[in-house]
Structure 1
Amino acid sequence: MTQPTFRFRPAPLSAALLACLAAPAWAQDARHQEPKDLDAVVVRATPLARTAEDLARPVEVLAGQRLDEVRANSLGETVSRLPGTQSSYFGPGVGRPIIRGLDGARVQVLSDGLASGDVSTVSVDHAVTIEPFMANQIEVLKGPSTLLYGSGAIGGAVNVVDGRIPEAATEQPLEGRAELRAGSVADERTGMVRLDGTNAAGNLVFHFDALHRETGDYDIPGFAEHQHDDHGDDDHDDDDDHDEELAHGTLPNSALRTDSGALGVSWVGERGFLGVGYSLFNTRYGVPGHMAHDDHGHDDDDDDDDHDDHDEHGHEAGVRVVMDQRRTELRGGLNDLGGFESLRVKLAHNEYTHTEYEGDEIGTVFDNDSVEGRLELVHRPLAGWDGAFGLQFSRRDFSAVGEEAFVPDSKSRDTGVFWVGERTFGGLDLELGARYDQNRIDPDSVAASAPSRDFDTTSLSAAARWNFGDDFHLSFGLDRAQRSPTAEELYSEGLHVATQSYEFGDARLDTETANRAEIGMHWHSGPLRLGAALYHVRYDDFIYLAETGIVDGGIPARVWTQADARFSGGEIDLQWTFLENHAGAWDLRAFGDIVRGRLDGDGTREVSFSVPHGDHTHDYTTDIALHGNLPRIAPARLGGELRWQSASGNWRAGLGAVRYASQDDIAEYEEETAGYTLVHANLAWHLDTPGGNAWEVFLDGSNLLDREARPHTSFLKELAPLPGRNVSAGVRLFF
């Protein structure tokens, strides 16, 4: 099998999108994104239909114009300007949300209430199979969400609502949106189209969407590899020959190509709906900083682009990933069921394949076949409590084939039951919840060192909102949440190419328990809104990947282990419409967040592992500290944005900046990271046409000062900075 090419080629889908943009309107009313009060948007991540303003537990929502302005290639980057939320980074194709310093297996990524079905928690180089450009709204649940979504949401959840299976008839027989955009930093070309329609009888509703994106290697402000200033200028001059060999100005092997599409159809009646959907997500991306040497004897005269081991800049071909997911869903709902208000059923089957190429050769293939089902039954008031019962189950069959498959094949089975409820006592709104889960993991290579494991987890939650009036309320939250270890944490053993380290699991790991306390406030008075929160989480038996300090053949060794840990932090968000006159409305937004993560154990723990070397091994035993800072904790941030919208609504603009502080609260063997400031801006012109369409031309900019930025949360920060200055422009059509 040959390595797929990443060169840009005109795509048939892009041509179709262009034709769609030029086509006449089909609907009578413009379907464009109106400005929305995001606090008033109904949050779908909870079975009780409540707005972000009504919920006692912290939640952030992106929708409408605000979502249009921040859509990015990855889900993590799309939500990264929300308070308390940052993004991991493993090149432009990979960015997973980080919530209050927690990521990976502690943050659940959902497609309208069901898991994404990918393996982005297995390795930091695996992308999330959810396309932000298809989202109607994105919801970020901060703090433990295990009550609703189980063990994998102990740190929070991000729910992407895409409407790919319709639940209600559309307002017009046919409506939708399309977009074409181009970006400068990586020669980006993106096109998407979305169609929703209803038959004349009003009971058959369909959905269709498609997206194509291509980028080349992206531009960077300086060198790809971090240049440590450890010597004087004279010594640095002696390294000129070495510097010439380093990537500069462009990051090799950072190209990206993504195709996504979906088709859904539903029957909608007066009391409910039943729908099915099928979607695909295919992406190909390079892993920056991972160069593969051509040791396979390919003919240098081969004219096939797919066999070209060097990119246009002359660098050796590197590790590239081809990811493909096919997802089939069934969803249904029924209202007014006697003592119950509604019943919702969701079922999804995912077939996922992730292939890593080293040059032209296949290195490792990851397969993940999963099924997940969810039932939510909303009951009428019981003893004054509104609430919902839920049942959730999932099955995952995971396999990895290749010399560098560091995680063994395994089967995982999870089943959970839960109840959430709420009641109002005068000016006090109270929310309670409980959940119980059974988890089982069966590795295929059953041995004394890799036994099957069973876990029982219980989570309890209480949240209260004290309403002092319509304009001001305080919120309080207490949670006890548990998480069972994942297969990667239990059974990893061997070279993890993505992180350039040896990684070793511990099959004896136990469940981790988080006890959270939080206090928050929300105040709004006319044009001014202010929100703030302080939280503290105490983890018992926190599972983390520890540095051992041992380096074998230039590759460090890391082990999964447990120790008590503490996370403390705070957030603040201010929004103020400080001027509104005949010229339009001027808004100021400012936000900040900070989190500190520390181990709180005593002494050290002895660990032993063996690094394979052909027909022999190197055996090691060492002690690791159970105290000190945790690695890759997100730095503190301050952000601000000035926004303007004309009185006519035809123009809007914004200019903002986010300052990421330096991170010097570092773990043992970890390097400090310098701070940086990212400046962004947007400009859009909107036009409603007589035919009922709406056109929008936009211009967006990011990292406008062209600063070198290396996120502390990234495993690649020493090899791959964030993209440099980018200006993207495009056109949207709403119909």
Structure 2
Amino acid sequence: MKSNKWNLKPIWLMLIALPAWADNVQDLPNTTVSGKRLPISGSQLDSGSKATLDAATLQTTRAPSLGQTLERISGVHNSSFGANNGLPQIRSLTGSRVYISENGLGIADMAAMSGNMPTAVEPFLADKISVQKSSAAVLYGGNAVGGAVTVETGLIPNQLPEQPIGGKVEISGGYNTPHSELFRLDGTAGNVAWHIDGANSQISGYKIPSYNKMAACRDGTAIMGDHSLELSCQAFPQYEEFFNKAHFAYVDNRYLQKGKDFLDDWGLGLGDVYKEKKPNWFDNSMWIKNPLYDPNETEGYGKRLTELIQKSPDVKGKMPNSHAHRQSASAGISYIGERGYIGMGISRYRHVYGVPGYVATLSSAGDELRTAPVNIDTTQTRWQIDAQYHPATPWLDNIRAQFAYTNAQNKELLGEHLANSLNSHIRQARLEANIHPTDWWKGTLGLDWRNRSTNGQGKDRYLPNTRTQEYGLFALQKFSAGQWSGDIGARYGKVHQQAFLQDYTPSRGLTEGYIKQHNNKTFQLRSYQANLTWQPALFWQTGIRWTHSQRAPDVNELFASNRHHAILANEHGDPRLKPETAKTWEWHNQFNIGNSQINVNHYQTQFHDYLYLGSSGTTKDGHMPYKEWRQGDTKISGWEVDWQHQFDLASYGKLQTRVFADWVKNRAVSCGSDNPAHADFGKYVRCKNDGAYMPKLPTTRYGVGLTWQKNAWNIATSLTHYRPQKHLGRNVNPEPDLGGYTLWDLYASYTHHIAQSELEWFVDARNLSNTEARPHNSTLKYLTPLAGRSVRVGLKMSF
């Protein structure tokens, strides 16, 4: 597939010479700000289970997608959509329930609605990524009911760099991995600080250990009759009906005498005139022994497989249509004074890639494109303003204001032809006033606002044009006294969702009329949280956290009405849906004993009116399963355990060990009776068609990690085992068991100095055992496994 490329090679050549040039730059007088302290922020005060990946950790875990980068954190999985794309899935929740922000404001992308769309984040350029595994709805609204991910890139500097110019350049490539080039520059001139970065990454395709499709997809008898699995496998069995007369011991003599005329006269079939046993009727004299009877014939009638048609490729050793080309560039500038800063930045992101192994078997774009590979072309431009002021007032720590405008163009292509686009224009603003009245009291007061417009083109559009307007007022206060600390918070918000149907005709279905009648919806939301932490001993801290979080239905849950190839379903929203409410209790413990730290978390969430995409048990347009957005009470529970210990090996360096495990269940509160006449019909349909457990539920896993450091050497390795999923959901029929697997990764680096530059030579190897791994929570798990063994070698130069 062709794509427009930004020629960045001259930049790499120029940047190689920068360290030498920087040595000759005249040093400017240092600007010293006295009384400087880390500013208070809402995210800093928020309680709950958190994890942070700093720059050193990111060097060993970063990957093409945000989900892959964070998947080693306990409780966080990668909701994979192939090797080039994946969202973080926190405690089984993802998409519209996990808030993702970059440099303080939400990322305007459509990945939450359509998993094949990328999240416009470049993990290779991140300074730090923080994960809030508990609900953060008080600070960020309903889209954080399942947690929040914060990416910091330093786009808008908030402090003056230590040197007039500095940065890094990195080049890498290897076997079964993209070749990547990136750079970053940070500088200052007086009180003005600036930042520039760019990245380029490209791969023609990935190698895999075996066939791209799972074994059952190549077994026509295994998938015959399971329409959902047929579509997921993109394999369609062809069969013929047969009737074996020799299997039956008795036959109606009238049929032997008259043949087909007897069947036609009485409206009968062969099954009416051939029987395994002689019928016990009042007059059964017409039944005689079948002259064709053969006791060795075991099959009487049914369907016989004649051919298995693979609509999408099924090849060995290669992940079909897995090419990718990702590019990004950004620049920011700010003025930094004694009492704060103000700055602005612009970023540009483009990602062109193939959805691995997947073709659109049904499309309105034309018969000639129905087996064309699905490709994604995403472009995003984002402008951002950030300002913070530290007043002289003792009780007011700082006031921070942010604004961003984002224009994102997302195209779904069949080959190179447009099938569907889902574009967005988003304006958002956030204001925080952070207070510090006393030593024992800190707090945040704030408001945020967002206006999003979406529009689409193409014959396969599944959404009309929409507009979302929302705002929220929030407060979070934290108190501490001796061995006790706690926080309380509240938020009030309003969300308005509107669909424009002038150039869009909803697909026919149960909710077609409702979408036309109720295309203008408003929801009021309230969220609360409270946390109490106690430290009974120096080595032990324990606490309990309660949250009440509400989320309004998103536009796809309300107004979707067509084939949605990304989720392999004919998706239909329902504007009658209500906000969902999640009430969570979380118990957390931390033990610090010597050089060891142990974290144990247990959580339980009761969702009232949980929004889910439910199977109707029917298909539409031939093969596409017909699914509707519905609501039902749901319970989520789980455990997370993390143990880390550092060994001082004296002259042999330092060794850090890590052992972790996580487990989560997401299930319907009650399935009711097996008889729909004597039960809640909605519960009956949910459990019959979707199962007691959520389909694509992340599996239980446990792992171990080792990191050894000595002088210039750093070696890190991890081994993670994913157990087979025993809590299987349904897609009308039960989900197949894909089995468990173990992944082994290794990172090694050597660092040395040349003049004023630091050079790090590194090797990053993933899936060293070349295991065939099919994550149960991946949409494409039947079509492609994770990438096979990869080895990336590179050089990073910092100056």
Checking the alignment, whether the CA contact within 8 Å between 1:56 and 1:465 is kept in structure 2 is: no
Checking the alignment, whether the CA contact within 8 Å between 2:486 and 2:531 is kept in structure 1 is: yes
* CA–CA separation in structure 1 for the residues paired with 2:110 and 2:195: 27
Does 1:385 pair with 2:453?
no
Q: Per-residue deviation at 1:49?
A: 4.4
Q: Per-residue deviation at 1:559?
A: 1.1
Equivalent position SS for 2:770: coil
Deviates more, 1:708-717 or 1:223-232: 223-232
Checking the alignment, whether the CA contact within 8 Å between 2:396 and 2:437 is kept in structure 1 is: no
Structure 1 equivalent of residue 202 of structure 2: 214
Checking the alignment, whether the CA contact within 8 Å between 1:264 and 1:276 is kept in structure 2 is: yes
Equivalent position SS for 1:12: coil
Structure 1 pair 384–472 and aligned structure 2 pair: CA distance change class (3 A): closer
Deviates more, 1:94-103 or 1:378-387: 378-387
Equivalent position SS for 1:671: coil
Q: Per-residue deviation at 1:623?
A: 4.0
Does 1:320 pair with 2:379?
no
Equivalent position SS for 1:152: helix
Deviations 1:469-513, CA, capped at 9 Å, x for gaps:
443211211111111110110111110111221111111110111
Q: Which runs of 5+ in 1 are unaligned?
A: 30-41, 299-308, 310-314, 608-621
Q: Per-residue deviation at 1:599?
A: 0.8
Checking the alignment, whether the CA contact within 8 Å between 2:42 and 2:444 is kept in structure 1 is: yes
Q: Per-residue deviation at 1:516?
A: 0.5
More helix by share: 2
* CA–CA separation in structure 2 for the residues paired with 1:508 and 1:255: 41
Checking the alignment, whether the CA contact within 8 Å between 2:176 and 2:207 is kept in structure 1 is: yes
Structure 1 pair 69–426 and aligned structure 2 pair: CA distance change class (3 A): same
Does 1:684 pair with 2:744?
no
Deviations 1:87-145, CA, capped at 9 Å, x for gaps:
11112221110001100100011002211111111211111001111110000001110
* CA–CA separation in structure 2 for the residues paired with 1:662 and 1:434: 40
The structure with the larger Rg is 2
Checking the alignment, whether the CA contact within 8 Å between 2:311 and 2:359 is kept in structure 1 is: no
Checking the alignment, whether the CA contact within 8 Å between 2:198 and 2:328 is kept in structure 1 is: yes
Does 1:185 pair with 2:241?
no
Deviates more, 1:267-276 or 1:224-233: 224-233
Q: Per-residue deviation at 1:692?
A: 2.2
Q: Per-residue deviation at 1:458?
A: 0.6
Checking the alignment, whether the CA contact within 8 Å between 2:699 and 2:724 is kept in structure 1 is: yes
* CA–CA separation in structure 1 for the residues paired with 2:549 and 2:79: 24
Identify which of 312, 316, 323 aligns with 1:248. 316
Does 1:226 pair with 2:211?
no
Checking the alignment, whether the CA contact within 8 Å between 2:474 and 2:490 is kept in structure 1 is: yes
Structure 2 equivalent of residue 270 of structure 1: 338
Does 1:563 pair with 2:632?
yes
Equivalent position SS for 2:577: coil
Does 1:16 pair with 2:11?
yes
Does 1:397 pair with 2:453?
yes
Equivalent position SS for 1:118: coil
Equivalent position SS for 2:626: strand
**Equivalent residue runs for 1:74-85 within 5 Å:** 74-85=65-76
Structure 2 equivalent of residue 410 of structure 1: 466
* CA–CA separation in structure 1 for the residues paired with 2:702 and 2:219: 30
Identify which of 370, 377, 390 aligns with 1:335. 390
Structure 1 pair 625–169 and aligned structure 2 pair: CA distance change class (3 A): same
Equivalent position SS for 2:215: coil
Deviates more, 1:495-504 or 1:17-26: 17-26
Structure 1 equivalent of residue 482 of structure 2: 426
Q: Which amino acid aligns with 2:15?
A: C
Does 1:510 pair with 2:578?
yes
Equivalent position SS for 2:558: helix
Deviates more, 1:341-350 or 1:495-504: 495-504
Q: Per-residue deviation at 1:384?
A: 5.2
Q: Per-residue deviation at 1:24?
A: 3.2
Q: Which amino acid aligns with 1:21?
A: I
Checking the alignment, whether the CA contact within 8 Å between 2:174 and 2:793 is kept in structure 1 is: yes
Structure 1 equivalent of residue 62 of structure 2: 71
Does 1:723 pair with 2:787?
yes
**Equivalent residue runs for 1:296-695 within 5 Å:** 317-338=372-393, 339-381=395-437, 385-445=441-501, 448-552=516-620, 553-603=622-672, 623-625=685-687, 628-646=692-710, 648=711, 650-669=712-731, 670-689=735-754, 691-695=755-759
* CA–CA separation in structure 2 for the residues paired with 1:396 and 1:244: 36
Structure 1 pair 26–351 and aligned structure 2 pair: CA distance change class (3 A): same
- Taking only aligned residues, the RMSD between alpha carbons, in angstroms, comes to 2.9
Checking the alignment, whether the CA contact within 8 Å between 1:45 and 1:112 is kept in structure 2 is: no
* CA–CA separation in structure 2 for the residues paired with 1:316 and 1:629: 33
Q: Which amino acid aligns with 2:64?
A: N
Checking the alignment, whether the CA contact within 8 Å between 1:286 and 1:318 is kept in structure 2 is: yes
* CA–CA separation in structure 2 for the residues paired with 1:248 and 1:150: 46
* CA–CA separation in structure 1 for the residues paired with 2:44 and 2:93: 27
Equivalent position SS for 2:325: strand
Q: Per-residue deviation at 1:385?
A: 2.7
* CA–CA separation in structure 1 for the residues paired with 2:418 and 2:562: 18
Structure 1 pair 448–538 and aligned structure 2 pair: CA distance change class (3 A): same
Deviations 1:535-565, CA, capped at 9 Å, x for gaps:
1001100001112222331221111100000
Structure 1 pair 14–722 and aligned structure 2 pair: CA distance change class (3 A): farther
Structure 1 equivalent of residue 188 of structure 2: 198
Structure 1 pair 604–391 and aligned structure 2 pair: CA distance change class (3 A): farther
Q: Which amino acid aligns with 1:191?
A: E
* CA–CA separation in structure 2 for the residues paired with 1:271 and 1:554: 63
Equivalent position SS for 1:257: strand
Structure 1 pair 181–325 and aligned structure 2 pair: CA distance change class (3 A): same
* CA–CA separation in structure 2 for the residues paired with 1:494 and 1:46: 43
Structure 1 pair 383–244 and aligned structure 2 pair: CA distance change class (3 A): closer
Equivalent position SS for 1:96: strand
Structure 2 equivalent of residue 106 of structure 1: 97
Q: Which amino acid aligns with 2:454?
A: F
Structure 1 pair 465–26 and aligned structure 2 pair: CA distance change class (3 A): farther
* CA–CA separation in structure 1 for the residues paired with 2:686 and 2:663: 27
* CA–CA separation in structure 2 for the residues paired with 1:632 and 1:256: 25
* CA–CA separation in structure 1 for the residues paired with 2:39 and 2:208: 39
Q: Per-residue deviation at 1:726?
A: 0.5
Structure 1 outlier segments of 4+, above 6 Å:
42-45, 229-233, 238-245, 293-298, 604-607
Q: Which runs of 5+ in 2 are unaligned?
A: 25-36, 223-305, 503-514, 677-683
* CA–CA separation in structure 2 for the residues paired with 1:25 and 1:467: 52
* CA–CA separation in structure 1 for the residues paired with 2:572 and 2:619: 14
* CA–CA separation in structure 2 for the residues paired with 1:508 and 1:316: 36
More strand by share: 1
Equivalent position SS for 2:771: coil
* CA–CA separation in structure 1 for the residues paired with 2:673 and 2:335: 61
Equivalent position SS for 1:490: helix
Structure 1 pair 561–527 and aligned structure 2 pair: CA distance change class (3 A): same
Structure 1 pair 241–277 and aligned structure 2 pair: CA distance change class (3 A): closer
What's the TM-score, normalizing by structure 2? Answer: 0.80
Aligned length: 677
Identity, in percent, stands at 29
Structure 2 equivalent of residue 713 of structure 1: 777
Q: Which amino acid aligns with 1:4?
A: K
Structure 1 pair 478–25 and aligned structure 2 pair: CA distance change class (3 A): farther
Structure 1 pair 450–358 and aligned structure 2 pair: CA distance change class (3 A): farther
Checking the alignment, whether the CA contact within 8 Å between 1:664 and 1:673 is kept in structure 2 is: no
